[in-house]
Amino acid sequence: MVELSGQRLEASAGEIEQAEQRLGFLLLPQFSMMAFFSAVEPLRIANRIAGRALYDWTLIGLGGGPVTASNGMTLLVDHPMEDVRNLPWLAVCSGFDPELWIGHGLSAWLNRLDQGGCCIGALDTGAVVLAEAGLLRGHTVTLHWETLPTFNERYPSIRTCDELFLLEERRFFCAGGAAAMDMTLEMIARRHGMALAVDVSEQLIHDRLRSRTDQQRMSLVRRLGTHQPRLVDAVALMESHLETPLPLAEIARRSRVSSRQLQRLFADVLGTSPSAYYLSLRLKRAAQLLKDTDLDVLAIGLSCGFGSASSFSRAFRRAFGTAPQAFRHHG
Quote the pTM value: 0.70
Per DSSP, the three-state class of 114 is helix
Closest-CA residue to 295 (of 153, 147, 98): 153
**Chunked mean pLDDT (size 10), the chain, 331 residues:** 47 51 95 94 96 96 94 95 93 89 89 96 94 94 87 92 91 90 94 93 82 63 82 91 93 94 93 95 92 87 92 94 89 59
Closest-CA residue to 77 (of 90, 87, 68, 89): 68
Question: Given this model, what pLDDT does residue 54 score?
Answer: 96
Q: Are 190 and 207 in contact (CB under 8 A)?
A: no
Q: Are 95 and 69 in contact (CB under 8 A)?
A: yes
Question: Given this model, what pLDDT does residue 331 score?
Answer: 59
| CA pair distance 26, 91, nearest whole angstrom | 6
Considering the chain, what is the average pLDDT of its residues?
88
Each residue's pLDDT tens digit, 118-142: 999 999 899 999 999 999 999 999 9
Closest-CA residue to 200 (of 59, 91, 38, 26): 38
Q: Identify the structural domains of the chain with CATH numbers, from first to last.
A: 2-203 (3.40.50.880), 220-330 (1.10.10.60)
In one-letter notation, the amino acid at residue 98 is P
Question: Given this model, what pLDDT does residue 27 score?
Answer: 97
Entry field: residues in the chain: 331
Question: Given this model, what pLDDT does residue 12 score?
Answer: 41
Q: What are phi and psi of 80, to 5 degrees?
A: -75, 155
Q: Are 17 and 7 in contact (CB under 8 A)?
A: yes
Question: Given this model, what pLDDT does residue 6 score?
Answer: 44
| CA pair distance 199, 212, nearest whole angstrom | 19
